Structure 1
Amino acid sequence: MGGLLSELSNKLAERWLTLLVLPGALYLAVAAAGHTLGQSAALDVGRLAYAISDAARAPQVATVGGQVVLLAAILAGAAVTGLAAQSLGSVVERVALAAGWHAWPWPFGELAERHVARRQRRWDVARAEYEDLWLLERAPRPADRPMPRERHRVAYRCQRISVERPERPTWSGDRIHAIAVRLDRDAHVDLLILWPHLWLVLPEEIRGEIGRARAVLTRAAVLGGWALLYLPLAWWWWPAAPLAATLVGISARRLRTASDTYATLLEASVRLHMTDLADKLRLEEQPMGPPLGSAVMRRLSSPAPATEPAS
């Protein structure tokens, strides 16, 4: 038992150091450098080195007690900064997935609605072009058929907009939403109702893979939270602006990749293991499809509350 607690405490300390302290300490170092150099001498490395040497000779840090207090202050400040980045990361994740964008306050909700309409128009045009090329490829005369690479190019352009017809203002949000759209279309199931029950029958290794994919998505959003923290530093130190912009680009790219991986795993787990859930529900064995999906949903859905007769 003692060994288990020791290993657990070591893992927690490692995660605390990796996720909070080290990125927070880097942020504090950048903030201190920006405060020391300012806009006029933003890249003056010699001035920064002189300021560090001068601070190291200060009487407050020359003693052991002063060094301990300084280290504790740095660790505490780094941890608080890391927690702030994680809080902002949760906001970035909510915006990136945009599950409840219809309830966004004005003017964000109106801007998101216009963006969704633009994405839908672009997707409709690309989809119509793809369907035309698909029909032309089946023309009776080979001379009338277009090159397959044209159809693949249009399909790629369509998927760059959204995997299914856009319903959210972001690609990542639409990628997650596409799971519900596809499963409702192909198997007549409601993912929100199905998923908690399916999770309980999934094998441990699959749940682990899904959990790790979800953690990658969260870390990508936290990187966007760090970008939001670095951006205000540009007010007195301009190199913080390109640093924040770089973090935004990396976070956006990772969010897109992570949401695609997470959505793929979710959809694959439903399609591969819904028959296992049906077996647990003692339903007649049948292949994945609308009959099975309808039977599972009838078993899982709660009946509508009975209304009392009027007296």
Structure 2
Amino acid sequence: MDKLWEAAGTKLADRWAAVSGPALVFWIGGLLAYAHDRHGVRPLTDWLARQKSPVQLLAVALALVVVAASALAVQQFVTPTLRLLEGYWPRWLGFLRKRLIARLHAKDKADKAEWQQLEPLVTPPGATPDAETLRRYAEIDRRRQLRPFKSAALMPTRVGNVLHAAESRPGAKYGLDAVTVWPRLWLLLPETTRKELEAARRALDRGVATSLWGLLFLVFSPWSLWAVPIGLATAAGAVLLITPSRAEVYGQLVEAAFDVHRTVLYEHLRWPLPEHPRDELAQGAKLTSYLSGGSDAVHPRFVPPPPVEPR
């Protein structure tokens, strides 16, 4: 029984640490702010030392519960906050959204025009571009990769454009609408691929949660004014640096999953594979339409399932 409780306690501690790490940092910062205002935490520790063991254990357990509960509460706001960071804003911010999209549209148009000028100097066989041309071409190409394929789908924020680019490119390259196809493709992905995607998504969510913890840290400002710059700096760093970079990683993995594993979806749905790259857009669009609303057409014909090898 001792070994059983020890193992259970270890697993519980690992789970608590995985969920409550950022919350623990938040509350430790709040304790430091309180100590700064009260000239230390000696009164609190003295009170705790005077209590009997059951009261001390109850106080520690209550502190752990508060930390875990706050972590779970913040987690509930991660998805709505990510939607805001993508640029899905309320109507009363519509004027700002339109203005930002208009600026991005102008930049995107200029980048496309310059890219078309540089592309013949860089990509043809035997081309000998100078270093500055290569640098500029790579810079513009990277910006284009992090924006939606169509200018009409531009979002007002960097995070929104990165994630929309990941959603739009499978449709532009293969005719597969990511919103429709992704839940089906996810079920067919190899375990290693799913783990990589899950890890990237958790990292993205942690970046969003960091911005929330930074804003919440401002509640300690009545105890110590240094909570204001620390909270604002944390939130700004998460919004401007951490979350966009992690969104890029996640978006690239989603696009790569379509690049590498889309044929598995065709095979499991018994849908004929495109014979040539030029046929893939049309075939993918038909498959998307079939998954979205079904079909009563007689074409294309389902491919016979592969024979089951005897054991």
Aligning the two structures, in what range does the TM-score lie when normalised by the shorter sequence? 0.7 to 0.9
- The corresponding residue for 2:267 is 279
CA-based RMSD: 3.4
Aligned residues: 284
Contact (CA 8 Å) 1:34, 1:233: kept in 2 or not? yes
- The corresponding residue for 2:172 is 185
One-letter amino acid of the counterpart of residue 130, structure 2: M
> SS where residue 85 of structure 1 aligns?
helix
- The corresponding residue for 2:52 is 63
Structure 1 residues 272 and 10, CA gap change in structure 2 (3 angstroms): same
- The corresponding residue for 1:309 is none
Match status 1:292 vs 2:283: yes
Structure 2 unaligned blocks of 5 or more: 297-311
> SS where residue 209 of structure 1 aligns?
helix
Counterpart selection for 1:76 from 65, 69, 72: 65
- The corresponding residue for 2:19 is 19
> SS where residue 238 of structure 1 aligns?
coil
Q: Percent identity?
A: 25
Structure 1 residues 8 and 158, CA gap change in structure 2 (3 angstroms): farther
- The corresponding residue for 2:133 is 150
User: Which residues in structure 2 correspond to 1:1-311 (within 5 Å)?
Assistant: 10-11=10-11, 13-20=13-20, 22-38=21-37, 48=39, 51-58=40-47, 61-98=50-87, 101=88, 104-135=89-120, 147-150=130-133, 152-153=135-136, 155-156=138-139, 159-160=142-143, 162-164=146-148, 165=151, 167-252=154-239, 253-285=241-273, 286-287=275-276, 289-303=280-294
Structure 1 unaligned blocks of 5 or more: 39-46, 306-311
> SS where residue 229 of structure 2 aligns?
helix
Instruction: Find the aligned partners of 1:220 and 1:299 in 2 and give their Cα distance.
Output: 37
Structure 1 residues 204 and 27, CA gap change in structure 2 (3 angstroms): closer
Residues 223-252 of structure 1 show CA distances to partners (whole Å, capped at 9, x for unaligned) of 112112112323442211222133224423
- Normalised by the length of structure 2, the TM-score is 0.77
> SS where residue 154 of structure 2 aligns?
coil
Instruction: Find the aligned partners of 2:5 and 2:267 in 1 and give their Cα distance.
Output: 39
Residues 95-123 of structure 1 show CA distances to partners (whole Å, capped at 9, x for unaligned) of 2234xx2xx32423332222122222222
Contact (CA 8 Å) 1:92, 1:221: kept in 2 or not? yes
Instruction: Find the aligned partners of 1:4 and 1:219 in 2 and give their Cα distance.
Output: 32
